[in-house]
């Protein structure tokens, strides 16, 4: 979902100086989040509203997933709309503001000081996102090319703005009465606007373009994608209305089912693209990305289970809530990023290093400038860590939680090693 190997068009429209800082920041954020996770297994046996868990969640959501998506979007949107990015300066500004704000926000959650550190951090993050959204909106508005993928991306940025604005209001509401209810009341709305409106909608829109492209598939079906778009957005609107005006667990079944139908349609789309692919051999990065498509279904099924639990009992549902959040941030989002990083970042680095050396002789291909054995080891460590930690949450087993966290940390170390290898790549001597 991050970038595109569409050669000169990408190189011409977006400088690597815009994109690479986002990737590097995200890699470090993933590593730090896994370090924090390693010492937090016991917290997954209690309630979800705990300072360290809030810090890990926001580091994964903002530092890891959002930062890499922002960087990739600066690279990908010009390709989708066949138009230049409006402003590299706005792109640099969005990075600087978000990069400064995220540590303050995470620190505020970690020590549970929701005063000025967290509020300043949240304000800086919102300012960075406004710069990003303005850049993308102007770029799209000046383009003569319109397609369903660009609509997915732009709509997801609107949901992102709503998510972060509500989140900032919740922060201030802890210390000053800003909203009509306490902040905890609105946390579910804040979380679902971000997870479904921002992450899921963008992943579906961009993935529907890049997965067929990387598979070199002839399959296309805009009508099916418009149906997916309508289902996800309808689910979000319904959930928001139910949350604000008719809070009832039974009503939440409808938006959850709409999202499930959308995901099944998207899975069908990906399967058709896979079946009709021209390139029969599928590399390891695409295998991980296609696994992420399957993992998309897991949080929705967990959510349906949670609703069923809520309807059946008024007991503690903390374990299911924790599993739901984990499967989103350490599940399909992370799997998609791990797969697509090494489909796109190698091209960005290759373009940076070799674009002016095309006539100088033999050069490596983008896939040759990172370590494939390290990538395979990372994928194995990630899959083992995800499965073990998820089972640890379900069984409330500290051994599984600690072992899973250690495996995820190993995956993060290997991911960072390969990213560092890519970013340090120098041209081969002729």
Would you list the DSSP string of 10-43?
HHHHS-HHHHHHHHHHHHHHHHHHHHHHHT-GGG
Predicted local confidence at residue 319, as pLDDT: 67
| Assigned domain for 40 exists | yes
Phi, psi (degrees; rounded to nearest 5) at 277: -70, 150
| Assigned domain for 136 exists | yes
Mapped onto helix, strand or coil, the DSSP state of residue 1 is coil
Neighbours of 238 (CB within 10 A): 16
| Assigned domain for 105 exists | yes
For residue 393, what are the CA distances in angstroms to 17, 40, 178, 364?
Answer: 40, 12, 35, 44
For residue 412, what are the CA distances in angstroms to 85, 234, 371, 422?
Answer: 31, 36, 15, 15
Q: Give the Cα separation of 41 and 397 in Å (integer).
A: 9
In total, how many domains does the chain have?
Answer: 1
The two three-digit tokens of residue 51, written as one number: 């300072």
Phi, psi (degrees; rounded to nearest 5) at 359: -100, 10
Q: Give the Cα separation of 384 and 388 in Å (integer).
A: 6
Predicted local confidence at residue 408, as pLDDT: 95
Predicted local confidence at residue 7, as pLDDT: 43
Predicted local confidence at residue 403, as pLDDT: 94
Yes or no: say if 133 and 87 are a contact pair by the CB < 8 Å rule.
no
| Assigned domain for 193 exists | no
Which sign does the torsion angle of CA 255, 259, 264, 266 carry? positive
Neighbours of 257 (CB within 10 A): 15
Predicted local confidence at residue 9, as pLDDT: 42
Predicted local confidence at residue 293, as pLDDT: 60
Dihedral angle at the C-alpha atoms of 136, 129, 255, 221, nearest 10 degrees?
A: 20
The two three-digit tokens of residue 295, written as one number: 């993992």
pLDDT in tens, the chain (430 residues): 444 444 444 444 577 788 899 999 999 999 999 999 998 877 777 666 788 888 999 999 999 999 998 988 888 888 777 778 888 899 999 999 999 999 999 999 888 888 888 889 999 999 999 999 999 888 888 777 667 888 888 899 899 999 989 888 888 887 787 777 777 777 778 888 888 888 888 888 888 887 787 777 888 888 999 999 999 999 999 988 888 887 666 677 788 889 888 988 988 888 888 888 877 776 666 666 666 665 555 555 655 665 555 545 444 466 677 777 788 888 878 888 888 888 888 888 887 777 766 555 567 777 778 888 999 999 999 989 998 998 888 888 899 999 999 999 999 999 999 999 988 877 766 5
Yes or no: say if 292 and 332 are a contact pair by the CB < 8 Å rule.
yes
Q: Give the Cα separation of 277 and 275 in Å (integer).
A: 6
Predicted local confidence at residue 291, as pLDDT: 63
| Assigned domain for 141 exists | yes
Q: Give the Cα separation of 5 and 178 in Å (integer).
A: 46
Mapped onto helix, strand or coil, the DSSP state of residue 109 is helix
Q: Give the Cα separation of 128 and 416 in Å (integer).
A: 25
| Assigned domain for 124 exists | yes
For residue 188, what are the CA distances in angstroms to 161, 310, 325?
Answer: 16, 14, 11
Predicted local confidence at residue 49, as pLDDT: 74
- Classify residue 429 by its DSSP letter: P
pTM of the model: 0.84
| Assigned domain for 24 exists | yes
Q: Give the Cα separation of 48 and 40 in Å (integer).
A: 12
| Assigned domain for 309 exists | no
List all residues 6 or more positions away from 326 whose beta carbon is below 8 Å from its beta carbon.
44, 389, 390, 393
Q: Give the Cα separation of 321 and 298 in Å (integer).
A: 13
Domain of residue 39, residue span: 16-146
């Amino acid at each position: 979902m991050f970038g595109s190997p569409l050669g000169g068009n990408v190189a011409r429209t977006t400088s690597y100086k815009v994109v690479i800082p986002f990737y590097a920041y995200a890699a470090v954020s993933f590593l730090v989040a896994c370090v924090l996770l390693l010492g937090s297994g016991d917290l997954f046996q209690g309630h979800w509203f705990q300072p360290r868990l809030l810090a890990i969640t926001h580091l994964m959501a903002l530092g890891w997933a959002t930062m890499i998506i922002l960087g990739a979007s600066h690279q990908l949107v010009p390709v989708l709309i066949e138009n230049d990015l409006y402003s590299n300066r706005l792109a640099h500004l969005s990075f600087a503001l978000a990069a400064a704000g995220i540590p303050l926000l995470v620190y505020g959650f970690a020590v549970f000081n929701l005063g000025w550190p967290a509020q300043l951090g949240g304000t800086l993050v919102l300012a960075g996102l406004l710069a990003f959204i303005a850049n993308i909106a102007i770029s799209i508005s000046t383009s003569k090319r319109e397609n369903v993928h660009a609509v997915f991306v732009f709509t997801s940025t609107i949901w992102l703005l709503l998510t972060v604005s509500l989140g900032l209001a919740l922060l201030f509401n802890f210390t000053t009465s800003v909203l009509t209810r306490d902040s905890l009341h609105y946390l579910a709305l804040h979380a679902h606007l971000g997870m479904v409106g921002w992450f899921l909608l963008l992943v579906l829109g961009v993935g529907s373009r890049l997965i067929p492209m990387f598979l070199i598939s002839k399959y296309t079906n805009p009508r099916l994608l418009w149906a997916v778009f309508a289902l996800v957005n309808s689910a979000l609107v319904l959930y928001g209305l139910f949350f604000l005006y008719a809070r009832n667990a039974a009503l939440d079944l409808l938006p959850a089912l709409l999202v499930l139908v959308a995901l099944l349609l998207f899975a069908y789309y990906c399967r058709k693209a896979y079946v009709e692919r021209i390139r029969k051999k599928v590399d390891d990065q695409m295998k991980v990305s296609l696994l992420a498509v399957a993992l998309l279904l897991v949080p929705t099924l967990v959510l349906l289970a949670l609703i069923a639990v809520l309807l059946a009992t008024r007991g503690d549902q903390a374990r299911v809530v924790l599993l739901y959040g984990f499967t989103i941030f350490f599940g399909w989002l992370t799997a998609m990023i791990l797969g697509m990083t090494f489909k796109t970042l190698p091209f960005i680095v290759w373009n940076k290093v070799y674009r002016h050396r095309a006539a100088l002789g033999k050069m490596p291909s983008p896939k040759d400038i990172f370590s494939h054995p390290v990538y395979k080891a990372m994928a194995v460590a990630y899959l083992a860590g995800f499965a073990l930690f998820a089972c640890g949450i379900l069984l409330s087993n500290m051994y599984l939680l600690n072992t899973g966290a250690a495996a995820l940390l190993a995956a993060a170390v290997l991911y960072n090693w390969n990213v560092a290898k890519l970013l340090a790549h120098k041209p081969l001597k002729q």
